[in-house]
Chain A
Amino acid sequence: MGSTRAAEPFQPEGVVWTAVSPRLASARRLSGCVPLLVLALGAAVPALVVPWAPLWILAALFAALAGWVFWLAPRQAAAWGYAERADDLLIRSGILVRRVVVVPYGRMQFVDVEAGPVDRMFGIAQVQLHTASPGTDAAIPGLAPDEAARLRDRLASRGQAQLAGL
């Protein structure tokens, strides 16, 4: 409490966060809103035929959820960030529940790069780091493919240089 050196765990001193691509927001909007809108339509169409109030409420609920995802996606995308330090990689994420993870390069077991169909449409990819711990939740979504490849190679080479046993 008295410490001024790093008063905020999500903004450590001397760390410059690299933001992920804003295209992540578009991808999340598409993959989040479209299924919800389809569900809303699925409830609204029969409601036109059979005038039954609960169906309208259901449709409105799905539409509201879609709107919420639409509103949330860019904010979530802006909350993602990563920073390469000399010995470890920092990843932060989340708005409501905020997280920061520190993964030492020497602890990295392997790196995954993944791009689903929607991700590919928007030209982004996800890099995920794995350690020997299942608790390490270190994924960076929304990277441009060349940045993802650069990060992967960089992490792999740093991991090898600093390799330690378990």
Chain B
Amino acid sequence: VTPAGDPADGQWQRVHPLTPAVKSWQALVVVLFLLAQDVGQGALRGDVPGGDGLPLDGLGVGVIAGGGVLLVIGLALAVGFAVLSWRMTRYRLTDEALELHHGVLSRKQRAARLDRLQAVDVVQPLVARIFGLARLNLEVAGAGDSKITLAYLGHDRATSLRAHLLARAAGVTYETAEAPQAPEHAVFELPLRRLLGSLLLSGPAAFAALLVTALVVGLAASVATGEALGGFAAAGLPGVLAVGGMLWGRFTKGFGFRVSTGPDGIRLRHGLLEQRSQTVPPGRVQAVRLRQPLLWRPVDWWQVQVNVAGYGGAGDAGGESETTLLPVADRREALTVLGMVVPDLGVSPPEQPFAVIEAALSGAGGAAGFVTSPPAARRLDPISWRHNGYRATEQVLLIRRGRLSRELDVVPHARTQSLGVRQGPWQRRLGLASFAVHSTTGPVTPVVPHLASSEAARLLDEQAARSRAARLAAGPERWMDHAATGQGTLEQPPVGPVTAASVPGAAPPAAAS
């Protein structure tokens, strides 16, 4: 084990020696708090002569001392375990994989293939930030918890390791000890005013406003009538607090949100207390959703969420913040970022991509080739039946939903997992069916509700063929290999004679295992 060598020389490395302190800080704080309380109470009792507290001599001192000893023992155990856990944790980066060995009682080893890398995050919780440390998460596609977490590394080391990981996953060869940092340019920065505005114009805020109004009215009534309505206020307060906590959570997550782009993908940076820096390489975004809640319509703001394999899996606390590409953006910014994650909408020249995307965001009916629910669907969805619909281009499936609050799902044909059609008893009577595209775990669940059942059948058939063709023409997992061969995915790839074998890297070595 080398304490501080080159992070990528293939040797076993340890995580940062301050890790135990950062990991056990919560235990430390609790112990210190209890200790302070204990001592404080004891001092208070001692200070009051003839009070009804325990006399300081005898039993009282015994209790206090005993509690203190237990606390110190508990603290020592916690710290000892953390140190032991640090001793047992080591990682190494080889050309093919990142390996992690950890665990005190049961030893765990995990190796993640770099060509399966889906995203790399560098996360700095508040306490780690104070010490200049960071946690590195490597996401590979897997069901459930499929990430490798290195906690904690020095911040510089974490970013250097991230550069190594991305370069090797991309198939870039380099001789230097330091991996080349991909150049990046900023695309989006969230102004604080808009973040606050978006929170004010959100459902929870509206709910809180109603609640507060009700409370004020209730209190005024109680003052006026002289009746005690304290219980009423007590019932409302927890609700206000819960909503406040929710808004505060959104505020800290969206604070300082920045998006930039480079050859190794999209980078997101955000967070007030816990700072998160995410890198999602090209082609790793499985599906995109643009959302506009009702209250955002006057200002035309949109939220952009994505499905990335591995993000938002089981037991991921940071699910929502991981999968948000833009917490709130105007239409132009949202479309710029959509263009970064889905470079080709597959709209052919006679048609204007702009017209299609406008229709997809805020159109209605059959404009720009959209297929919507038939009039029979009015009985099941009287408000938005003319707005719910889909449009298939050469590269993606656009699904539009909603009239009051709007949603647009974009799924590249090459990223479709499986397809489904569902028909409930009412739909059957009206000759309707709902069509679904199954994507990886995440906030985007693309569904077209209430299509004519013949239309659903046709879409099922055609979409299966389209996604098959797109899959065969899909690029390799190592995106820089692909760039080197000069067949950019930005151009329309040749469909037909191309087979999986003729596309370099289409069948990665992992297929053999």
Contact B309 A99, beta carbon cutoff 8 Å: no
B419 touches A102 (CB 8 A): yes
Q: Are B454 and A6 in contact (CB under 8 A)?
A: yes
Residue-wise, chain B 76-97 has the 8 Å CB interface mask toward A (1 for contact) of 0000000000000000000000
Complex-state Cα separation, A2 to B284, whole angstroms: 38
Complex Cα gap A131–B424 (Å) = 25
**Which of A8-16, A53-61, A142-150 lies at the interface?**
A8-16
Cα A130 to Cα B142 with chains together (Å): 12
Q: Give B472-509 interface residues, CB cut-off 8 Å to A.
A: 472, 474, 476-477, 500, 506-508
Given that A102-B419, A135-B438 are contacting pairs, would A96 and B453 also be in contact in the complex, using a CB cutoff of 8 Å?
no
Using A12-B457, A134-B441 as known contacts, say yes or no to A104 and B421 having CB atoms under 8 A apart. Answer: no
Give per-residue flags for A122-158: 1 if the beta carbon is below 8 A from chain B beta carbons, else 0: 0000000011111111100000000000000000000
* Contact code string B118-146 (vs A, CB < 8 Å = 1, else 0): 10000000000000000000000101000
A112 in the interface (beta carbon within 8 A): no
- B450: shortest Cβ distance to chain A, in Å? 13
* Contact A101–B420 (Cβ < 8 Å): yes
Q: Does A103 contact B (CB under 8 A)?
A: yes
B464 contacts across to A, CB distance below 8 A: 87-88, 102, 104
Q: Judge whether B506 and A102 touch: CB under 8 Å.
A: no
In the complex, chain B residues 418-437 whose Cβ is within 8 Å of any chain A Cβ = 418-425, 428, 433, 436
| A-B pairs under 8 A by CB, number | 128
| Interface residue SS majority, chain B | mixed
A120 an interface residue at 8 Å Cβ cutoff? no
Chain B contact patch, size range: 35 or more
Chain A residues within an 8 Å CB radius of B468: 87-88, 104, 106
A3's contact among B141, B419, B454, B500, by CB below 8 Å, is which? Answer: B454
Q: Which residue of B lies closest to A132 (CB)?
A: B440
Our pick among B309, B420, B500 for the contact of A166 (Cβ within 8 Å) is B309
Taking CB atoms, residues of chain B closer than 8 Å to A165 are: 474, 476-477, 506, 508
- Judge if A7 is at the interface, Cβ distance under 8 Å: yes
CB of A131 within 8 A of CB of B457, answer no
Interface size on A, residues (CB 8 A): 38
Contacts of B141 in A (CB 8 A): 132, 166
Please tell me if the beta carbons of B440 and A166 are within 8 angstroms of each other in the complex.
yes
Residues of chain B in range 460-477 having any CB-CB distance to chain A below 8 Å: 460-461, 464, 467-468, 471-472, 474, 476-477
A1-B474 Cα distance, complex, nearest whole Å: 33
Residue on B with the closest CB to A163? B511
Indicate if A162 sits at the interface (CB-CB under 8 A): yes
Residue B222 CB within 8 A of the other chain: no
Our pick among A10, A97, A100, A134 for the contact of B424 (Cβ within 8 Å) is A97
Smallest beta-carbon distance B417→chain A, Å: 4
Does more than half of chain A's interface fall in helix, strand or loop, or is it mixed? loop
Q: Are B467 and A135 in contact (CB under 8 A)?
A: no
**Which one, B420, B454, B461, B500, contacts A99 given CB within 8 A?**
B420
Query: Would you call B454 and A136 a contact (CB within 8 A)?
Result: no
B467 to A9, Cβ gap below 8 A?
Answer: no
Closest chain-A Cβ to B13's Cβ sits at a distance in Å of 29
CB distance from A85 to the nearest CB of B (A): 9
Q: Name the contact of A6 in the complex, choosing from B143, B420, B461, B471 (C-beta under 8 A).
A: B461
Which of A6, A106, A132, A135 is within 8 Å of B458, CB to CB?
A: A6
Contact of A98 among B284, B416, B422 (CB under 8 A): B422
CB-CB contacts below 8 Å: A38-59 with B: none
Is B164 an interface position by the 8 A CB rule?
no
CB-CB under 8 A from B419, the residues of chain A are 101-102
Decide yes or no whether B445 CB sits under 8 A from chain A.
yes
> In this complex, what residue of A is CB-closest to B474?
A164
CA distance A136 to B441 in the complex (A): 11
Rounded to whole angstroms, the CA-CA distance of A100 and B423 in the bound complex is 9
Which of A97, A101, A131, A166 is close to B423, meaning CB atoms less than 8 Å apart?
A97
Say yes or no: is B374 at the interface (Cβ < 8 Å to chain A).
yes
What's the least CB distance linking A163 to chain B, in Å?
5
- Which residues of A does B touch, CB under 8 Å? 1-3, 5-10, 12, 87-88, 96-104, 106-107, 130-138, 160, 162-166
Q: Which residues of B line the A interface, CB within 8 A?
A: 118, 141, 143, 284, 286, 309, 374, 415-425, 428, 433, 436, 438-441, 445, 452-458, 460-461, 464, 467-468, 471-472, 474, 476-477, 500, 506-508, 511
Q: Which 8 pairs show the lowest CB-CB distances between chains A and B?
A: A135-B438, A9-B457, A133-B417, A133-B438, A6-B457, A131-B417, A102-B419, A136-B418
